[in-house]
Structure 1
Amino acid sequence: MGCGKRSLTTAAVALVCAVTVLSAPGMAYASPPAPTPTPAPTPPSGTTPKSAADLEEVRAKLEKLYHEAAVATDAYNAAEEKTEKQSTQLVGLAREIVKGQAKLDRLQDRAGAAARAQYRGGGLPPDARLWLSDNPQQYLDGAGRVRQGEHATKGMLAEMTRTQKDLAQYTKDASAQWRRLEANRKAKAAAKKKIKQRIATAEELESQLAAEEKERLAKLEEDAAHAAQTAWLSSGVLAEINGKASPQGRKAVQYATAQIGKMYEWGAEGPKTYDCSGLTSQAWAAAGLGIPRTSQEQWRQLPHVDVRSMRPGDLVIYFGDASHVGMYIGDGAIVHAPRPGRSVTIAGAGSMPILGVVRPDK
């Protein structure tokens, strides 16, 4: 095998190695119970308790930080999904390169053998060989075989040309795939860095609060969710939502609600922890239907339905950038994985700004 052949095969094998290295339902509710007033706790001595305005500012900052972390998590999950597919495709291309090079080597060996045989049988013009032959019929028979051999040789040379073109295309495709893979690797790294930064900043902000301030902050979050849910219900929308779950939808709801209490973890798809779209995609996988991994792709690819037509098992997409998703379970409620520091839980379907609803099994 020539130097060019060895380098191409070696590169393909190295490519394969490199790629290998890279690569029970809960109770639903229409509206959460109205908040009950609690006595103001006594602040620890020597500290100045934060005012309601101060805590509201903290709540808004935390909401912004965790929203940015959610957007980055979607970007990370999308890059991860693309990386897995591209790695698989790249390994396949590398294998085709190795197979193609082996085929080309065999064809070249056969062509060389045919050329050597033709050389050994040559020397005199065909007419002279006919006159000098002791057995003209034998010569003519041999000439027919030679013509057949020539046709076979032409076919072999054409096959060699096709194989060389295939190899060139495989190499070009592999190079392009490798560049895309590297770009997604960088996108994953950037998203991961942003996620960690936002979560760390949020946790640092929360750590500066006294225990009673954390309780008041949690109460503010509950009040905000309750107000949003109440406003949503006041439109009368729940009276129009009466769709029945499909058999697959019931299975998806059963899976999702069985995860209640498990902690949120960005990029997680279970079975111990989940992020928002990890929960919904795994719930539908358990129901026998694969759906996109991220909330943004779920919104982009799955059939949209009107909010008033939604039924249990449908996915409710939140915020203008589709950065959060929950599963509708009926009676005006969703099950979802909220954010870092929280566990899978039931919430009001209108407790966050609804972008729209999608139906995996439409």
Structure 2
Amino acid sequence: MTRTPRAHGHRTAAALTLLCALTAAATAPAPAHAAPNPGAATLDEVRQRLDGLYHQSEVATDKYNAADEKATAQQKKVDTLDGQVKRAGRKEARLKALLGAAARAQYRGGGLPAEVQFALAADPAHALDDAALAQQAQQGTQEQLSALEAVRKELRRRTDEATAELKDLRASRRAMAENRDKIEKRIAAARALESRLQKNELRRLAELEKQAAARAQAKWVGTGVLDEAGTKATAAGRKAIAYATKQLGKPYVWGAEGPDSFDCSGLTSQAWLHAGIAIPRTSEEQWARLKHVPVSRMRPGDLIIYFADASHVALYIGDGKIIQAPRPGRWVYVSPAGSMQILGVVRPDA
């Protein structure tokens, strides 16, 4: 019985189609006016498709991180409210104890009105003193009752507020789960596409990526954008750069913020945290909440925000270079600052 060869017999139809197209494009005779390397053009389409998939995964990652940051903040707020409710409860207990003590004191005194006690007193002067004390006790009791009512209202308000925050927290967690699914699907799709390429095609794909980055960088630098850019970082900026430099070579993992792996905003937020300045966790929030500076006036230590949706961020280290955690399957590395679409620059230590 003839056996089906196993070495190459189980590629998917989609993989065969892609590989055949790439092989045909690379080996077919070139028409008189054709591009010199049709295979490279085909791979460039693959590169663009991969860039699109990984960009989508990064957008989903940023949404996941934003939801996580919101959930964490909400949890802290709920914990704070719970602590306030407990403190109010203890205050209520103390007020009840005081009211009980006042009631018991009045009971031991016979509970008679001050004017009756005065009429029966052997010493009228002493009775006047007793009457004044009784009046003060009644006034104090009323104040305690008012305070107790205020505490009860505050308890109800804080309980309602805590309940509303808990609902928001649950909604954020659901959003996190949905974005986690989106991230995993996009990363899986990108890796599946890459897995269909052979080693030599992967090498060519990497070279195409470098060429595209170099072209974009040359065009960016050619605008003169770096002519007036700062060359010296602040003390905090130097610390942030030093931290990021120590992370070179560590893998990108979505949602990670060290110490063994990072995503893009995990790296930048941790770099600045180690410089003594806490900044938002996500690139979107970094863009929204940190001070904007002109790209032409940026300095080492600033953060460059990329793409119209602010879905990527990197740490500018000077000389037109950045340290970034790029995407799944890659690692923290130094790359050209102008290799991606720049949205703007923000300064954590403004």
Settle same-fold status: TM greater than 0.5. yes
Name the aligned partner's letter for residue 206 of structure 2.
A
Aligned equivalent of 2:205:
217
Q: C-alpha displacement at 1:100, in angstroms? A: 1.4
Aligned equivalent of 2:243:
255
SS in 2 for 1:297: helix
Q: Structure 1's 74 and 138: CA in aligned 2 closer, same or farther, altered over 3 A? A: same
- The 2-side partners of 1:125 and 1:278 are apart by 72
Deviation track 1:154-197 (CA, whole Å, cap 9, x = no partner) reads 12112112211221122122112212211221222122111111
Aligned partner of 1:265 among 213, 235, 253: 253
1:159 aligns with 2:131: no
How many residues are treated as equivalent by the alignment? 317
Q: C-alpha displacement at 1:124, in angstroms? A: 5.9
Q: C-alpha displacement at 1:126, in angstroms? A: 5.0
Q: How does 1:1-362 map to 2 (within 5 A)?
A: 48=20, 50=22, 51=25, 52=39, 53-119=41-107, 121=109, 126-362=114-350
Q: Structure 1's 340 and 124: CA in aligned 2 closer, same or farther, altered over 3 A? A: closer
| Residue pair 1:243, 1:309 contacting (<8 A) in 2 also | no
Q: C-alpha displacement at 1:123, in angstroms? A: 6.7
| Residue pair 2:115, 2:131 contacting (<8 A) in 1 also | no
| Residue pair 1:314, 1:358 contacting (<8 A) in 2 also | yes
Q: Structure 1's 254 and 128: CA in aligned 2 closer, same or farther, altered over 3 A? A: closer
Name the aligned partner's letter for residue 294 of structure 1.
T
Name the aligned partner's letter for residue 343 of structure 2.
L
Larger relative contact order (C-alpha < 8 A, sep ≥ 6)? 1
More deviation, 51-60/190-199: 51-60
Q: C-alpha displacement at 1:137, in angstroms? A: 3.4
Structure 1: state its 5+ residue gaps: 1-43
- The 2-side partners of 1:176 and 1:64 are apart by 38
More deviation, 262-271/240-249: 240-249
SS in 1 for 2:345: strand
Q: CA RMSD in A?
A: 2.1
Q: C-alpha displacement at 1:135, in angstroms? A: 3.6
Name the aligned partner's letter for residue 67 of structure 1.
H
- The 2-side partners of 1:56 and 1:49 are apart by 13
Structure 2: state its 5+ residue gaps: 1-15, 26-38
Deviation track 1:187-225 (CA, whole Å, cap 9, x = no partner) reads 221221111111111111111222222222222222221
Among all aligned residue pairs of Structure 1 and Structure 2, give the percentage whose two residues are the same amino acid. Answer: 51
- The 2-side partners of 1:115 and 1:238 are apart by 80
Q: C-alpha displacement at 1:238, in angstroms? A: 3.2
